[in-house]
Structure 1
Amino acid sequence: MRSLSLVLAVLLTAAGCASASDEGGGETGTGGTGPITFATGRDTTAYLQPLLDRWNQAHPAEKVTLLELPEAADEQRAQMVANLQAKSTRYDVLGLDVVWTAEFAENGWIIPLERGLFPLDRFLPPVVETAVYKNRLWAVPYTSNAGLLYYRTDLVKKPPRTWAELRDQARQIMKKQDIGGYAGQFLAYEGLTVNFSEALQSAGGQIVSRDGTEVTLDPAKAQIALDFLLQGLREGWIPKESLSYKEEESRLAFQEGRLAFARNWPHAYGPARAKLGKKLGVTRLPGLNGPGSSTLGGANLAISAYSKHQRTAQEFIRYFTSLENERRVLTEGSFPPVWTELYDDPALIKRFPYLPVLKESILAAKARPVSANYNQLSLVIASSVAKALGNPSSESADDVAASMKSELEEIIRTQ
């Protein structure tokens, strides 16, 4: 552990950084010690409090209180933004969706962190990148996520590696078993942005440049990605009811035997395994010409710029993202950890057989567009794709792609 003087120096330096661009922003915290709060989404597995209790027992003068926000990410963000815009000191540690880093940093709502205080070299590299904005570390990775393809081993002899193989297998199974072929999250919300992004990446494309300053969407590749989904709807191996699916609906459809294949996050593995047993298989998402690329998910921990106890907040984050705690995040919360070595642990693999595939998926995954205006970009993507999927027989994929690119460029120009 670094000396206390180094930690103090880092925090005093951070306190003077109001935003990612060092322009504007509000007052920063005092960098002191004392009780803190941890604001994050609702804990649906009841694993958090025992981890917090361990900290509280060892730090009676710096206890942490859990502030549970709504389960939906957009509602979490709305409450955090309202609090931070008011420069409230109520939140100290923030559990941020990985796509919020740029927005919160650019607005001066969180403070930059010293890289050397955290074992980032032992974390999965793509996960670390989600906490970096303009070459500065603004948060510490806490959990990761990547999309996986779930399939029925009693119906599928060899899991598909390409879209063509997925299509052929889904159509054959439909004819023999009278069940749906494939579904993801196709309702017009963040999940649709994720599913389209994965299809685009799996066709070799991207939406914006790494620094978020330029729209790099190739309409031809976007058309290929859209056609993959449109073809499935036209031919019926993607059921029309999947246009109303979010994560939960697609999970239930698969584990209840209404789908042969389903795209979902790792959290769906436990319930599906309990229901399907040895009939459950999991692999990487297929792509145009081989294994596809998932979209990175997960959560990072950041410190509010208005916290009065930033030093305690930083030490809490060091504790909460430690190897020992990350193991508990997996074993007690069933969330994908960020430490690389946990994915290679034989005992954990025996308990969570999907870990090797998940590691491959995370290492091959891509982050969503890095932008302080990410929410606007996501709305354009989801609404454009939803329009196409809602009328697959008449919507031209190339027209949708061109229109989407134009709208995205307008957002980037005005940011």
Structure 2
Amino acid sequence: MRRFIPIALTMILLSACSAADAQPTDRFGGSGPFTLVIGRDTTAYLQPLLDRWNQAHPEERATLLELPEAADEQRAQMVANLQAKSDRYDVLGLDVVWTAEFADAGWILPLERGTFPLGRFLPPVVDTAVYRGKLWAVPYTSNAGLLYYRKDLLAKHKFSPPKTWKELREQARALHAKHRIGGYAGQFLAYEGLTVNFTEAVQSAGGQILSPDGTKVTMDVAKATSGLNFLVNGFREGWIPVESLTYKEEESRLAFQEGRLAFARNWPHAYGPATASSVADRFAVTRLPGPNGPGTGALGGYNLAVSAFSKRQKSAVEFIRYFTSLENQRRVLTEGSFPPVWAELYDDPELIRRFPYLPVLKQSILSARPRPASANYEQVSLVIASAVSNALTPPFEEAGDDVVASMKSQLDEIIRGR
């Protein structure tokens, strides 16, 4: 059956996409069919959003090109395309940590701030799209890590949701022993997800890895070692299952929603599928714990950028304005379970009734820190993931402070360009 969009809605879409015609978009050339390239859509919500655009813009149809789920693999394919100066990709869905690299390489175009309602977005999210004072992309989804937990098991043992590492350790150990399930897991495969998990542990301990501008290694060995040892001890003591060394986002999501974990660190997109799983109505979320209270997450999400080699740049900019509009942001949440970037959606009573985690998520995003805006971020991430993976793998022969000291030395070489 063919799907038709109501005339009134068509007019709304057309109006929304032309409301800022006075903004300076003339410097972008080329209109026509274009391609949106982004990571794999695991919740099947993207194509309906593109269908709405396509029905209102038959001469500027958007085609969805999905890349692999893992951020590392997405980046590799995008970089290969952009280094070849191919015009196959038009709108790029970039992990927030790629802004500096892609801008520095000349692969994406700077955008006019006034074209987009950035003042209504969550401030930390906008920062991820800015590099050296220029806007290089538009925030599309945000992200901050959350702690998923089995509220039924906590209630049974009269536990309160853990706020500290000590509480998480004690509860995870107890539930692991009494219910024969994994105590806690995150994303511990040696890829970008492990870098994020380690970064969150370091930040929660009061440290950082690089300076905010990415030009200097500022890692405090003691604080970084504290964060690393929290994870290492979990594996050594058995309340973090060894199989989680193979977990990316999807593997950890499935382990939790299939009832194989008491606690799991994951992004908000895992919430929707869990409500239709074997743990539905038996789980909840809270902020990530830290040494002495709630921890500090790593800011994630996707930004939309225009390829410098696109021949349809004007259509790409118009599409980004449409795709980041308030109504589409609502759909990003309601249909995709991804955190929107518009601040007002987190305070919407109707949405909070449907997504009770929104207040917690808003706090998590506002307290999260962006990963360093480094043009060498990929190398930085590879060094961190490799070092941390070795530390987490039995037989745990190298001391945590030695691992951190060696990691710091390697990072210093990368940043200094040696």
What's the TM-score once normalised by structure 1's chain length?
A: 0.91
Give the alignment of 1:47-196 within 5 angstroms. 47-156=45-154, 157-196=159-198
Give 3-state SS (helix, strand or coil) of 1:7's partner. coil
Find the aligned partners of 1:260 and 1:90 in 2 and give their Cα distance: 44
* Equivalent position to 1:306, from 297, 300, 309: 309
1:400 aligns with 2:418: no
Q: Which structure 2 residues correspond to residues 372-391 of structure 1 after superposition, within 5 A?
A: 372-391=375-394
Residue 232 to residue 103, structure 1, CA distance change in 2 (3 Å):
same
- How far residue 108 of structure 1 moved from its aligned partner, in angstroms, is 0.3
Does the CA contact (< 8 Å) of 2:271 and 2:337 recur in 1?
no
Equivalent positions of 1:249-264 (< 5 A) are 249-264=251-266
- Structure 2 gap segments, 5+ residues each: 1-18
Instruction: State the shift of 1:192 in Å.
Output: 0.8
Whether contact under 8 Å (1:183, 1:239) holds in the other structure is yes
Deviation at residue 91 of structure 1 after TM alignment: 1.5
Q: Is the 8 A contact 2:23 2:115 kept in 1?
A: no
Tell me the SS of whatever aligns to 1:155: helix
1:126 is paired with a residue of what secondary structure? helix
Other structure's SS at 1:171 match: helix
Residue 44 of structure 1: aligned partner: 42
Alignment of 1:3-14 (within 5 A): 3-4=21-22, 6-8=24-26, 11=27
Provide the secondary structure at the position in 2 that maps to 1:116.
Answer: helix
Which residue in the other structure is 2:296 paired with? 293
| TM-score in terms of structure 2 length | 0.91
Distance 1:204 1:5 in 2: 42
Please list every run of at least 4 consecutive aligned residues from structure 1 whose deviation after the TM superposition is greater than 3 angstroms.
1-5
Q: Structure 1 residues 387, 226: closer, same or farther in 2, change over 3 A?
A: same
Structure 1: gaps spanning 5 or more residues: 12-29
- 1:4 Cα offset (Å): 4.4
After the TM superposition, which of the residue ranges 393-402 and 173-182 deviates more from structure 2?
A: 173-182
CA contact (8 A) 2:269 2:336 kept: no
CA distance in 1, matches of 2:351, 2:70: 29
Q: 1:305 to 1:393 in 2, by over 3 A?
A: closer
CA-based RMSD of the aligned residues comes to 1.6
Q: In 2, Cα distance between the equivalents of 1:318 and 1:129? A: 18
2:217 maps to 1:221: no
Q: Secondary structure at the match of 2:60?
A: coil
Post-superposition CA distance 1:167-201 (Å, at most 9, x none)? 12122223332322111111111111010000000
SS of 2:280 mapped into structure 1: helix
Output one character per residue of 1:199-236: Cα deviation in whole Å (capped at 9) or x when no partner.
00000111101111001111111111111112222222
Name the SS of the counterpart of 2:335 in structure 1: helix
Residue type at the aligned position of 2:80: A
Q: CA distance change for structure 1 residues 355 and 83 in 2, over 3 Å: closer, same or farther?
A: same
Find the residue that maps to 1:154 and give its secondary structure.
Answer: helix
Q: Give a deviation string over 1:47-80, Cα, whole Å, max 9, x none.
A: 2222122222222322222222233322222221
Superposed displacement of residue 375, structure 1: 0.9
Pairwise CA distance, 1:378: 0.5
